[in-house]
Amino acid sequence: MDKHELRARRSAAQLLIAPGPGPVEVVRRLLGIQAQELRSARLAIRARTRGTTATEVDRLLAEGSLVVGWLMRGTLHLVDREDYWWLHGLTAPGRLAANRRRLHQEGVSPAEAERAVEVIEHELADEGPLTRPELAERLAAQGARAEGQAGHHLVMLAALRGVAVLGPLRHGRQAFILARDRLGPPRPVERDAALAELARRYLAGHAPALPEDLARWAGLPLRDARAGMAAAPVDSALAAAPPPRLLPAFDPYLLGWKDRSFAVSPEHARHVHPGGGVLRAVATVGGMAVGTWTLREGRVQIERFLPLGPGDEEQLAAEAADVVRFASWRLEAWLRRAG
């Protein structure tokens, strides 16, 4: 199919044409939203719903309907609580070796790492939710090596082991909580069935797609992606051209496939992906990136690199107003708490 049709079908699968009914439904449809920047994950939900606020997303994190963990590609992802354990069972084992290497580079021995996980589990059980800096302080107080990147990778190890998961906000930061308290005990994962479920759910939010796309998105071997897709084929439906949208940094629409040239022209790729792991917020028209945007001091500023058609300016202005509305609710809630 041509790129116009590809953009339309993928935009429909991503709920960028007909929005979802609410944040949980959007997260379930996409299976996971990259969330190393929680602000961007919230804005990805905004682009796929109507009337949702940032504080509503935070409430769902606080109550445990949504959680964040190191899952696909070993990157923090926002997922539905019911999807966490089986995704963890598929993805965490492949990340443990990389985590051990990083801890070794930081001068943390295997025995020290095991002791640190015990400390993290004890502190979370004793004190409740704690932020990453707070956990680093507790680790240092117990004699663990937590300076530099060591503390980060020790907390990641606790998450990969199924001890901790990110949930409620504390002092403006997302805090870790015992996974068993938030999600119940880990559940057994039957790998073949889990791969089929992974492929089915991925395709629901990303079709049309190939096994290579699933392997890249999930961070799994290509053979696993092929096996999953063979067990769970999904067709995509015809769709109308997607309307203008403001998508945040690291949006699923730009991260969901191996090749993003269907949505970002090669000559403008450097504006969107300048390197260093950065993927900027984009303005799209018809599913094609036409510029990048920022939100500063309550105003959206768009830097265009492609011309706009009739009516596109007005629709992007409406999107910008909705971004400000969405973000302002959280700011107002923070000011009420601070006051």
Do 14 and 35 belong to one domain?
A: yes
Model pLDDT for residues 78-108, shown as the tens digit of each residue? 999 999 999 999 999 999 999 999 999 999 9
Beta bridge partners of 278: 275
pTM of the model: 0.93
Model pLDDT for residues 280-313, shown as the tens digit of each residue? 999 999 999 999 999 988 899 999 999 998 899 9
DSSP state of 244: P
- Does residue 336 belong to any structural domain of this protein? no
- Average pLDDT of the chain to the nearest whole number: 93
Indicate the helix (H) or strand (E) that contains 320: helix 312-338
Do 318 and 240 belong to one domain?
A: yes
Q: Hey, what amino acid is at 93?
A: P
Which residues, at least 6 apart from 181, have a Cβ–Cβ distance to it below 8 Å?
none
Report whether the peptide linkage leading into residue 242 is cis, meaning its omega lies within 30 degrees of zero: no
Do 205 and 69 belong to one domain?
A: yes
User: Could you tell me the residue range of the domain that residue 94 belongs to?
Assistant: 81-183
Name the pLDDT band for 124 (thresholds 50, 70, 90): very high
Give the strands of the sheet with 33-34, arranged side by side: 33-34, 76-80, 66-70, 164-170, 173-178
Do 233 and 308 belong to one domain?
A: yes
Structural domains in the chain (count): 2
Do 273 and 288 belong to one domain?
A: yes
Do 102 and 130 belong to one domain?
A: yes
> How far apart (Å, rounded) are the C-alpha atoms in residues 298 and 313?
19
Name the pLDDT band for 234 (thresholds 50, 70, 90): confident
Do 155 and 226 belong to one domain?
A: no
Handedness of CA 91, 21, 60, 35 (dihedral sign): positive
> How far apart (Å, rounded) are the C-alpha atoms in residues 317 and 323?
10
- Which of 138, 162, 183 lies at the terminal end of a domain, its last residue? 183
Q: What is the mean pLDDT of residues 200-206?
A: 97
Q: CB of 28 within 8 A of CB of 311? A: no
Model pLDDT for residues 16-41, shown as the tens digit of each residue? 999 999 999 999 999 999 999 999 99
CA nearest to 286, candidates 43, 2, 52:
2
| Chain centre to alpha carbon of residue 174 | 14
- Does residue 337 belong to any structural domain of this protein? no
- Which of 135, 167, 183 lies at the terminal end of a domain, its last residue? 183
Do 117 and 240 belong to one domain?
A: no
Q: Return the axis-axis angle of helices 81-91 and 191-206, rounded to nearest 10°.
A: 120
- Does residue 338 belong to any structural domain of this protein? no
Do 234 and 298 belong to one domain?
A: yes
Indicate the helix (H) or strand (E) that contains 79: strand 76-80
Q: CB of 195 within 8 A of CB of 189? A: no
> How far apart (Å, rounded) are the C-alpha atoms in residues 172 and 176?
13
Q: And the tokens for 261?
A: 């040239």
- Which of 157, 183, 209 lies at the terminal end of a domain, its last residue? 183
- Asked if residue 334 has pLDDT above 50, the reply is no
Name the pLDDT band for 329 (thresholds 50, 70, 90): low
- Does residue 249 belong to any structural domain of this protein? yes
- Does residue 339 belong to any structural domain of this protein? no
> How far apart (Å, rounded) are the C-alpha atoms in residues 223 and 32?
21
Do 60 and 204 belong to one domain?
A: yes
Do 97 and 56 belong to one domain?
A: no
